[in-house]
Amino acid sequence: MNTAIVMLGTNVNQEHNLISAKEKLSEFFEILDESSILITKPIGKKYNTDFHNQAIKILSDDTAKETALHFKQIENEMGRSPLTNQMGEVPIDIDLIFWNGVQKRNDYDKFPFVRQCVDEIKDNVELIS
């Protein structure tokens, strides 16, 4: 069994989309914990609305690559596409930040809101940057 810490982010129908994403994720994974929701100002000129961000901790029987493919499937189901990205709309973004304690993306180091959310739920998981 693998433990992952995942970041969710959305700037479209934010509250609903976070709930919907977690419901869809729970079809594939056991959700162990979730952070508070942080509202952040958009980074980049193409985004016009605030983001709602949340970290969740999941258990996965799959590999990291298979797990990330589930994330992409959910993003697509929820309406994420190159066109929505061009329009500055992110219905849902699901990123694998840590896999069994090993950092998979530099978002943890790059964005204070990611670190804050992840640190809230990391518990006894040793994170390796």
Residue 34: the pLDDT is 96
Residue 126: the pLDDT is 62
Residue 122: the pLDDT is 86
Query: Which domains, from first to last, does the chain contain?
Result: 2-121 (3.30.70.560)
Beta carbons of 8 and 92 less than 8 angstroms apart: yes
Q: Is the pLDDT of residue 97 over 90?
A: yes
What are the tens digits of pLDDT across the range 44-79? 788 889 999 999 999 999 999 999 999 999 999 999
Q: Is the dihedral of CA 70, 71, 74, 80 positive or negative?
A: negative
What are the tens digits of pLDDT across the range 2-41? 999 999 999 999 999 999 999 999 999 999 999 999 999 9
Q: Is the dihedral of CA 89, 20, 95, 39 positive or negative?
A: positive
Residue 123: pLDDT band with limits 50, 70, 90:
confident
The pTM of this model reads: 0.93
Q: Is the pLDDT of residue 120 over 90?
A: yes
Residue 93: pLDDT band with limits 50, 70, 90:
very high
Q: How far apart are the first and last CA of the chain?
A: 21
User: How far is Cα 78 from Cα 24, in angstroms, rounded to an integer?
Assistant: 10
